[in-house]
Amino acid sequence: MTSKTEEKTEKKEEYKNDQVQVVVKRKPNCIVEYHVHAHRPICVEAHKKAAKSVGKEVVIPGFRKGKAPPELVAKRYPGELDKRWQEGIANASYRESAQLANVPVIRQDANITFKMESHSRDGAKLILSFETAPHIPSIDPAKCVLSEGKAPEVSKEKVEETIRQTQMFFAKWEIVKDRPVKENDFLLLDVDVIEEEPEQKLFSNTRFEVSDKSMAQWMKKLVFGKKTGDVLEGMSEPDATLNEEEKKEFPPKKVRVTIKAIEEATLPELNDEFAKQVGAKSVDDLRTRIEELLNKKAAEAVREQHREQVTTFLFSNYFEIPSSVIEKETQFRLQQMIQDPQFKAKWDQSNNKEKQELIDNVKNQAEKAVRIFYLCRKIAMDQSISIEPKDMPLASSDPIEALLFPSPQHHDPRQPDVKQAEAYSRLLLEKTEDWIIAHARIGPPPKKAAEPKKEGKTEKKPAPKKKAAPKKTAAKTPAAKEEKPSPKPKRKSAPKKK
């Protein structure tokens, strides 16, 4: 039986004219090979140009520079002449083959290499290799089945707690120095995961409230009764109140917790004056506005759940990607990470194995980002989805929303091209995923029809153990848009003849 990879490797197309005869072979990872038989005209012309090129650069006694006979140049400088001859044959062969086959290169600066099998004035045989643009499959949104999604509950207790969080922004804070941590204190903490190298910082100088409703039980037990400056180690654990599915998302990890400060808060009185301070007409109006805001955020949470499901669906549409594109995105991400001083310090302290593991992880994320970007761009082209100025997110005009749910930093047209590309990619991802959501099916996937039972006794075999499903990973958008393919790339210098 022939594998899919072998089938793709064997796929070929043939073309010819009076200059070349070319067989196109498509290899894995978007590699294309032109197997070329160059005819005599190309080889003779390439030799003439090579001799002239070398002759202009060398000085032979008895002749002015550039005026030596080609035969003498060939005799004195056979190696350099042959090298340029091969390059000339390869360049001319590529031009003719590209016009016949019309296979686009991945980008304008793509490398094109060649292997010369034989060459003379009568003809040459060579293989030209380059990366082409990937073939992106069309996406059928009807095949995407979404679960209904679970919206966070908006209760009276949640509304009152959110009002309390609003009061926190206007609280008077007092640092406590002469006693240990107690109930309802506020702590400024650094939290680091230390079970793996390099260590991972979860929180830096972040405020936590010491209460059952605001702090995880494992953390509360760890810090209760301790003092400012204490450095504590323990195991993070999911709270018992979480369901089994939620507990799986928070596996136990060894952590280090540093108490930076202990604080007490005095909240402003909840009255109409305070309500007006945050943009509401009265306390009742504040409650109504916050309930509406929480319902809005609950709907957005369901939308994000659906987007995550769409991302998983898009990943199921496999296609091959040129290795150079993934490598380019990986290098860009690593360069961005190295600019962070904390990451740079940890990188410098890591051994080769740790660095390679990090690079592999970044490469995996880069491939997912590139894959999603290609798919979204394909959907946008097929469905005429465009990014317009009105699609750019605007800061909320509601002071309560701006206070409780500050928007991420908005795109500034004066920012560098990289930032503009990131903003474009993010918007493209959201608009195309929302288009899929609008045309997807909601509910469980259709069940397969049961196969009829075979007559007669059959020996029961033990069922194979099920493999654990891989965790879903949301992909980041690529940092920069891929350049449009061009049929005329720059050429790479030819290797020496073996």
User: pLDDT tens digit string along 379-389?
Assistant: 999 999 988 87
Q: 361: which DSSP letter?
A: H
pLDDT band, very low/low/confident/very high, at 489 (cuts 50, 70, 90): very low
Q: Is pLDDT of 97 > 80?
A: yes
Q: Is pLDDT of 485 > 50?
A: no
Q: Where in the chain is the domain with CATH 3.10.50.30?
A: 172-266
- Angstrom distance (rounded) from CA 226 to CA 186: 13
Q: Where in the chain is the domain with CATH 3.30.70.1050?
A: 4-131
Q: Is pLDDT of 488 > 50?
A: no
Better-predicted residue by pLDDT, 497 or 254: 254
pLDDT band, very low/low/confident/very high, at 466 (cuts 50, 70, 90): very low
**Alpha helix stretches (DSSP H) within 58-149:** 70-76, 78-101
State the average pLDDT over residues 94-118: 93
pLDDT at 144: 95
Using a 10 angstrom Cβ sphere, with 0-12 exposed, 13-18 middle and 19 or more buried, the burial of residue 280 is buried
- Angstrom distance (rounded) from CA 429 to CA 412: 19
pLDDT in tens, 334-345: 998 999 888 888
CATH: 1.20.120.80, 3.20.140.10, 3.10.50.30, 3.30.930.10. Which one for 172-266?
3.10.50.30
pLDDT band, very low/low/confident/very high, at 284 (cuts 50, 70, 90): very high
State the average pLDDT over residues 441-448: 66
pLDDT at 463: 40
pLDDT at 62: 73
pLDDT band, very low/low/confident/very high, at 3 (cuts 50, 70, 90): very low
pLDDT at 487: 39
pLDDT at 408: 61
pLDDT at 92: 97
pLDDT band, very low/low/confident/very high, at 426 (cuts 50, 70, 90): confident
134 neighbors 321 (Cβ within 8 angstroms): yes
| Cβ density class 60-97: b for 16+ within 10 Å, e for less | beeeeeeebeeeebbeebeebbbbbbbbbbbbbbbbbb
Using a 10 angstrom Cβ sphere, with 0-12 exposed, 13-18 middle and 19 or more buried, the burial of residue 457 is exposed
132 neighbors 32 (Cβ within 8 angstroms): yes
Better-predicted residue by pLDDT, 463 or 399: 399
pLDDT at 469: 36
Q: Is pLDDT of 410 > 60?
A: no
494 neighbors 86 (Cβ within 8 angstroms): yes
- What tokens does 38 get? 């160059």
pLDDT at 12: 64
pLDDT at 59: 76
pLDDT band, very low/low/confident/very high, at 418 (cuts 50, 70, 90): low
pLDDT band, very low/low/confident/very high, at 409 (cuts 50, 70, 90): low
Q: What is the percentage of the chain residues whose pLDDT exceeds 90?
A: 60
Q: Is pLDDT of 68 > 80?
A: no
For 15, the enclosing helix (H) or strand (E) is: strand 12-16
Least confident piece of the model among 117-131, 319-333, 405-419: 405-419
**Alpha helix stretches (DSSP H) within 115-226:** 156-168, 217-223
281 neighbors 193 (Cβ within 8 angstroms): no
Q: Which CATH architecture has domain 4-131?
A: 2-Layer Sandwich (3.30)
Of 98-112, 435-449, 450-464, give the range with the top mean pLDDT. Answer: 98-112
Of 16, 34, 17, 37, the residue nearest 25 (C-alpha): 34
pLDDT at 416: 54
State the average pLDDT over residues 178-182: 93
Q: Is pLDDT of 108 > 50?
A: yes
pLDDT at 22: 97
Q: Which CATH architecture has domain 135-167+280-445+470-491?
A: Orthogonal Bundle (1.10)
Q: Is pLDDT of 275 > 90?
A: yes
Q: Is pLDDT of 90 > 50?
A: yes
Q: What is the mean pLDDT of the chain?
A: 84
Side-chain half-sphere exposure of 471, counting CA atoms within 13 A: 8
State the average pLDDT over residues 209-235: 94
pLDDT at 359: 93
pLDDT at 417: 61
pLDDT in tens, 343-354: 888 888 889 998
State the average pLDDT over residues 160-169: 94
Handedness of CA 486, 488, 490, 496 (dihedral sign): positive
